[in-house]
Structure 1
């Protein structure tokens, strides 16, 4: 199975920083899974190749997006209660 994620940001610096923040988690993937995350311009590309159960792939994508959200919040891009109320 193969999944591809593409997420665009406002600038190249942000995309690069977030892609680099995700890379350490990708290195800890199970042997049957290969995850590559890179940035090109303002876009983060992640490719996941996996030979296993679909539930594991879905859980991996969910975990990846959670890590991305945490990284966004760390650099001030995340949604806070104050931002939502504006």
Structure 2
């Protein structure tokens, strides 16, 4: 189990890693103002960022250790949870 301080440190470490990863991106995200991206899986919860979805994974796995969850960045720009096997890129 995590106490509040451990969870806070974990979130800060994830946020720092996410910020560093965004700084390392080799290609900037393309902004297309006239196009509205719709989510191909609108039935799934959309998390704003990696830290939020990671927190959800921690909370869920804390309650049910039998689940194997992972996250992925969706085409719509949000993050989703899945228990599926990762697709090869």
- The two structures have a TM-score, normalised by structure 2, of 0.29
Q: Which has the higher strand share?
A: 1
Larger Rg over CA atoms = 2
Q: Which has the higher helix share?
A: 1
Q: Which has the higher contact order (CA 8 A, sep 6+)?
A: 1
